[in-house]
Amino acid sequence: MQRHLPLVAVQAPPRLIGEPFAGFADEARRVLERHPESKLLVFPELHLFGDGDPDLQREEALRAAAEPLDGPRVVALAGLAEELGVWLVPGSVCERGEQGELFNTQIVLSPSGELVGSYRKIFPWRPHEPYEPGDRFVVVDLDGIGRVGLNICYDAWFPETSRQLAWMGAEVILNVVKTTTADRAQELVLARANAIVNQVFVVSVNCGGPRGQGRSVVVGPEGEVIAQAPDASPALLAAELDLAAVDRVRARGTAGVNRMWSQFRPSEPAIPLPVYQGRIDPATWQPQSPSPAPTTDLTDVALATLRSTR
């Protein structure tokens, strides 16, 4: 069965907190008018939460704008996804937690208008971001297409996040980004590296200028650049991802030689990972299948990873 994912990564400047929702809705409609074949629209991190130039992510403004995920903002976004008939990742949103915490949360909305996935950023960019860290990794099945892993900006600097998502069966990692600093050059290296070492697609969509550094990129499972914005100007990166390529690369090896997910024999002894208080178990060193439906609960390895970062 062919599993193709036509998508658009939308590189655009952040919209200001408090702007009417109609402005974003019109923005999404224009994207789809230009690329009507698209099944997934992905916007940058905190696309709806700009707070001026420079964009300082002021805690007071973010707390005032934060809502729970059943609040009116997500309801409106779900209605927009249903209207457009696409999978919609509107970047990430400021989520008010159950105890009043502030989370940077990436969401996925289905073409039927349902919130089908949410991921709280595990690695906030400290000391600059005011968010609490999340405590679970999340993958989402796009019905009839494949499985995507959710990933926000600074998460890409920690190889454990991409490895965990790939192990959970992600074929595409959606890395939504709001980089306004000079380290975008390193992030481009990380996008390709995370794709290569996990044999997955990586979509790294950054906010545009004048606040953002842009240079969004779509990378294939052997590290090949499929599409890239050359600068910070607004850009639409349209790509059709053949998700079967993930299976082909893993079967024949990256560059025809490297098959990292087939490294171990199941009978070999476990390898301790002291930094995580965990281990690699050859008996389970295989990515999960995109079918049946995924779990978003942390595995023992992920729990150990989180404990080691606190």
- Contact partners, residue 156, CB within 8 Å, separation at least 6: 162, 175, 177, 187, 190, 191, 194, 204
Residue 188 counted as domain residue = yes
Residue 285 counted as domain residue = no
Check whether 134 has a pLDDT greater than 90.
yes
Q: Give rounded-to-5 percent helix, strand, coil for the chain.
A: 30, 25, 45
Name the pLDDT band for 1 (thresholds 50, 70, 90): low
Partners of residue 6 on adjacent β-strands: 240
Which tens digits make up the pLDDT trace of 111-127?
A: 999 999 999 999 999 99
Residue 299 counted as domain residue = no
- Give the span between the Cα atoms of 193 and 81, in whole angstroms: 32
Residue 33 counted as domain residue = yes
For 157, the domain range is 4-262
Report the relative pairing of strands 4-11 and 40-42 from DSSP bridges.
parallel
* Predicted local distance difference test score (pLDDT) of residue 203: 98
* Predicted local distance difference test score (pLDDT) of residue 251: 96
121 labelled catalytic: yes
Name the catalytic one among 95, 153, 171, 178: 153
Check whether 138 has a pLDDT greater than 60.
yes
Name the pLDDT band for 53 (thresholds 50, 70, 90): confident
Residue 288 counted as domain residue = no
**Percent of the chain at pLDDT exceeding 90:** 89
Name the pLDDT band for 310 (thresholds 50, 70, 90): very low
Which tens digits make up the pLDDT trace of 282-303?
A: 999 999 988 643 333 333 333 3
Which tens digits make up the pLDDT trace of 58-111?
A: 899 999 999 999 999 999 999 999 999 999 999 999 999 999 999 999 999 999
Whole-structure pTM value: 0.92
* Predicted local distance difference test score (pLDDT) of residue 52: 79
Which tens digits make up the pLDDT trace of 144-154?
A: 999 999 999 99
Which tens digits make up the pLDDT trace of 227-272?
A: 999 999 999 999 999 999 999 999 999 999 999 999 999 899 999 9
Residue 267 counted as domain residue = no
C-beta neighbour count of 282 within 10 angstroms: 16
Tell me, rounded to whole angstroms, the distance of Cα 144 from its chain centroid. Answer: 19
Name the catalytic one among 94, 95, 121, 171: 121
Check whether 304 has a pLDDT greater than 70.
no
Number of domains comprising the chain: 1
94 labelled catalytic: no
* Predicted local distance difference test score (pLDDT) of residue 306: 35
Residue 307 counted as domain residue = no
SS3 (DSSP) at 178: coil
- CATH number of 165's domain: 3.60.110.10
Residue 271 counted as domain residue = no
- Give the span between the Cα atoms of 147 and 171, in whole angstroms: 6
* Predicted local distance difference test score (pLDDT) of residue 291: 60
* Predicted local distance difference test score (pLDDT) of residue 56: 77
Average pLDDT on 159-181 reads: 97
Average pLDDT on 19-37 reads: 98
45 labelled catalytic: yes
The whole-chain average pLDDT of the chain stands at 92
Nearest to 100 by CA among 52, 61, 63, 56: 63
